[in-house]
Structure 1
Amino acid sequence: MRTPVSSGSPTPLQQRSFRFLLIATVGGFSGYALLLPVVPLWAVAGGAGEVAAGATNAVFMLVTVLTQVLMPWLLKRVDCRALFALGTLLIGAPTPLFALSTDMWVLLGVSALRGVGFGILTVTGSALTAELVPIAQRGRAAAYYGLAIGLPNVALLPAGVWLSSRIGFGPLFWAAGAVPMLAALTALGVERVRLKDPKRAAPASTATLLPSWTIMAVNTAAAGGLTAFLPLAVDSSVAPAALLIFAAATMLGRWLAGHLGDRFGQRGVLAPSALLGGLGVLLLALAAWTADPVALAGAAVFGAGFGAVQNTTLILMLERVDSATASTAWNIAYDGGHGLGAIGFGVLIASTGYPTTFAITGALLLACRVLAARRWA
């Protein structure tokens, strides 16, 4: 149920602990974003093939999801702030070890260690966002948290590749390790949070998460597939701008959804958000078929819808179960959906081509709009 916000209540940004959480989140995700495209390049520079190079990120994401599965158990036993700091530290501390060797066992081992850290960081960050602010302000808090995640991705994903060619891999690995380690110290400014026992805090069954979880997973799978294959589906002169617009629109959509959701209720925002996502992907299907410039409009519309879906599904999950369970389920939908989307798109594209694959995806997202309109979403 939506709870009115008192005019005297401090906003999320006026709360000291939440500000420290945002600063630490930017640092932690900077270490992630800088190296996501760089580690495969380092593997190729050492003589690895494309499949082996891709395995570095695949292992990273696999370990991330496996760690996330264990987080509800861990959060019942350990202070959430301490786990957040540990996750941020594990993103950074092993990173300079990449510079020691391009042997695959080194690259995969370090990637796995960092995956543990990223799994901890993502779940505890979402949980702290929910716990540090009043319930009626969770939408806005999640929106600001989304900005803290999104800005490093927009700025540093392309910057990592550029820096590797300018300063070299070794210095970049040290820099990408130092930033999250400093962020782990910043996390000490966040107040201690011990999450409530889920059995006492949320009697509702986790099955009630399924509609929102499904909407989030389908939208994330679409985002994962489209970001992987859009550069191949449209003209190379259009693709970079489309991806940049998508990233920016995602942040804007999440920010707007957070404010609108707190004011009008999350369910009233979710259905239009899912509709926007479906329409945006259908525009991308049109761009892949004949009209490349339409990709810019499609990327903007899909990005806005995807960002809004991210925020609203997280808050709806938090309304149903405890923070640890909701954060874990949402992050698994996000990270697992990205990987499954890239694989699923590859299979569909091989058999039907880009326009048809994008059109099928758009239809699935429009079906999510129907699901979102139901009360049980």
Structure 2
Amino acid sequence: MRNPASAGSPTPLRQRSFRFLLIATIGGFSGYALLLPVVPLWAVAGGAGEVAAGATNAVFMLVTVLTQLVMPWLLARVDCRALFALGTAVIGAPTPLFALSSDLWVLLGVSALRGIGFGLLTVTGSALTAELVPVAQRGRAAGYYGLAIGLPNVALLPAGVWLSSRIGFEPLFWASGVVPVVAALSVIGIERVRIREQERAAPAKTASLLPSWTIMTANTAAAGGLTAFLPLAVDPSIAPAALLIFAGMTMLGRWLAGHLGDRFGQRRVLAPSVLLGGFGVLLIALAAWLADPVALLGAGVFGAGFGAMQNTTLILMLERVDSATASTAWNIAYDGGHGLGAIGFGVLIAASGYPVTFAVAGAVLIACRALAIRRWG
């Protein structure tokens, strides 16, 4: 159903505090994206094996999720802006310590510290996105916030590896540390907000997040499997282009869903998004079976559905519980789903191969449509 209240409302970009939030978000996620593939390379350069090198990112994500679990408690006691600034700064401040040594214990310790920062940043960023704009603009605000997250990932994930081979690891560690710390200063332009409290039906309200949370986790697991195994499943010559298309369409899908959701209602956007993502993964399964460039199309279709689903599930969660709880649940689904996807895909691939694994994942996403169309209060 069309939402007339939102159709003529101004863009969230007119909110000064929201603009400062986007600036800080770009800076914080730049420090994250630059180093995600670089720290394992630095570990290998120091003599660590592939498993130990991968543990640096695993520890980072584990600490991120553990931090996210305590965020509702923290947000009930500490100013959201302060936690956002702290998280953005902590993404960067410990980073130059990587240059001290490539010993694994140093890398794991610094990664754990940065994981605390990332956990703070992700939850408070989503919560502030919900609180700094009128409710009728939340979908569009989340879409712009998605762009602020996606742009550094698209541009800097490949750039980090390239820069490490051109300027060296140590200058890159310093640059990756300075940018988020400077970006944290943007908090001075963000107004103080109070997390909107919902009526006290906490258990029922929290349980109502389960359908959206399940959809989000399943889709993010598929995305985690895609990014980990697509280069091995399809022609290596087209895999980089497919991943770039996936990242770009994810941003576009999230931005477009924000506008459509505010205009027509979130539920009308969610089911098509889930189906689109599922069909995209099935196309990737076909590409893995036939070694066909249809992987490019599949990556684009899945990316569009995945981005739209991200935005819509976040807003649906925000409609049911306070922004601290919704943001925490959504971010745990995102970060935990990525890890589950990489592990689950690895197990299935070992047992049945790439085409079957991607086909199963696509079927699971399409089955999630039943949750997308379910009405819950």
TM value normalised by structure 1: 0.97
SS at 1:292 equivalent: coil
**Residue identity in the other structure for 1:188:** I
Match of 2:100 in 1: 100
Q: Summarize deviations over 1:185-228 as a string: whole Å, max 9, x none.
A: 01221111232455659785200000000000000000000110
Matching residue of 2:303: 303
- Counterparts of 1:211-230 in structure 2, within 5 Å, are 211-230=211-230
The CA distance in 1 between the partners of 2:5 and 2:113, in whole Å, is 41
Distance in 2 (CA, whole Å) between partners of 1:74 and 1:264 is 34
1:315 to partner: Cα distance: 0.2
* 8 Å CA contact 1:92, 1:178 repeated in 2: yes
Name the SS for the 1:374 alignment partner.
Answer: coil
1:19 match: secondary structure = helix
Give how far 1:10 is off: 3.3
In the TM superposition, residue 376 of structure 1 has moved relative to its aligned partner by 2.6
2:169 aligned partner:
169
Task: For 1:93 and 1:44, locate their aligned partners in 2 and report how far apart those are by CA, in whole Å.
Answer: 23
Structure 2 residue aligned with 1:369: 369
Alpha-carbon contact 2:131-2:196 (below 8 Å) kept = no
The amino acid that maps onto 2:176 is: A
Q: Return closer, same or farther for 1:148/1:18 CA change in 2, 3 Å cut-off.
A: same
**Does the residue aligned with 2:336 lie in a helix, a strand or coil?**
helix
Preserved contact between residue 6 and residue 136 of structure 2 (Cα < 8 Å): no
Match of 2:89 in 1: 89
User: Aligned runs of 1:83-232 on 2, under 5 Å?
Assistant: 83-197=83-197, 204-232=204-232
Tell me the equivalent position of 1:271: 271
Deviating more after overlay: 218-227 vs 191-200 = 191-200
Assess, with a 3 A threshold, how the Cα gap between structure 1 residues 74 and 210 changes in structure 2: closer, same or farther: same
> Residue 275 of structure 1 aligns to a residue in which SS?
helix
* Alpha-carbon distance between aligned partners in 1 of 2:55 and 2:119, rounded to the nearest angstrom: 18
Give the CA deviation at 1:319. 0.2
Q: What are the equivalent positions in structure 2 for 1:321-340 lying under 5 Å apart?
A: 321-340=321-340
Code of the aligned partner of 2:328: T
Partner of 1:237: 237
Structure 1 CA distance for aligned equivalents of residues 36 and 208 of structure 2 = 34
- Relative to structure 1, the CA distance from residue 115 to residue 199 in structure 2 (aligned partners, 3 Å threshold; closer, same or farther) is farther
Q: Distance in 2 between matches of 1:26 and 1:70?
A: 24
The secondary structure found in structure 2 opposite 1:117 is helix
1:56-84 Cα offsets, whole Å, 9 max, x none, are 00000000000000000000001101100
Q: Given that residues 79 and 195 in structure 1 are in contact (C-alpha distance below 8 angstroms), is that contact kept between their aligned partners in structure 2?
A: no
In structure 2, relative to structure 1, the CA distance for the partners of 1:201 and 1:164 (3 Å cut) is farther
The CA deviation string for residues 244-265 of structure 1, in whole angstroms up to 9 with x for no partner, is 0000000010011000000000
Contact preservation (8 Å) 1:270, 1:372:
yes
Q: Would you say the 8 A contact 2:96–2:177 is kept in 1?
A: yes
The offset of 1:104, in angstroms, is: 1.0
- Residue 374 of structure 1 deviates from its aligned partner by 1.4
In structure 2, list runs of 5 or more residues that go unmatched: none
| 2:348 match | 348
CA contact (8 A) 1:85 1:188 kept: no
Instruction: Verify the 8 A CA contact 2:68 2:331 in the aligned structure 1.
Output: yes
Whether the aligned pair in 2 keeps the contact of 1:202 and 1:322 (CA below 8 Å) is no
Corresponding residue of 1:249: 249
1:315 aligns with 2:315: yes
Distance in 2 separating the partners of 1:6 and 1:248: 27
What is aligned with 1:61?
Answer: 61
TM-superposed CA distance for 1:4, in Å, is: 3.5
What is the deviation of 1:135? 0.5
Q: Residue in 2 aligned with 1:12?
A: 12
Q: Which amino acid aligns with 2:210?
A: L
Change in Cα spacing, 1:46 to 1:97, as seen in structure 2 (3 Å) is same
C-alpha separation in 2, matches of 1:26 and 1:268: 30
C-alpha separation between the residues in 1 aligned to 2:76 and 2:360? 41
State, as a whole percentage, how many aligned pairs show the same letter: 85
> How far did residue 370 of structure 1 move?
2.0
Compared with structure 1, are the counterparts of its residues 5 and 197 closer, same or farther at alpha carbon in structure 2 (3 Å cutoff)? closer
Contact kept? 2:6, 2:137, Cα under 8 Å: no
Conserved? CA contact 2:284–2:358, under 8 Å: yes
Q: 2:76 aligned with 1:51, yes or no?
A: no
| Distance in 2 separating the partners of 1:346 and 1:108 | 23
Cα RMSD (Å): 1.5
CA-CA distance at 1:9 after TM superposition:
4.2
**3-state SS of 1:205 partner:** helix
Residue of structure 1 in register with 2:72 after alignment = 72
Displacement of 1:5 in angstroms is 3.0
1:203–1:321: 8 Å Cα contact kept in structure 2?
no
Query: What does the per-residue CA deviation read over 1:137-160, in whole Å, with 9 as the maximum and x for residues that have no partner?
Result: 100000000000000000000000
Q: Name which of structure 1's ranges 334-343 and 6-15 shifts more when overlaid on structure 2.
A: 6-15
Q: Evaluate the alpha carbon distance shift between residue 141 and residue 224 of structure 1 in structure 2; reply closer, same or farther with a 3 A threshold.
A: same
Within 2, Cα distance between the matches of 1:196 and 1:81? 14
TM-score by length of 2: 0.97
Q: Residue 26 of structure 1 aligns with which residue?
A: 26
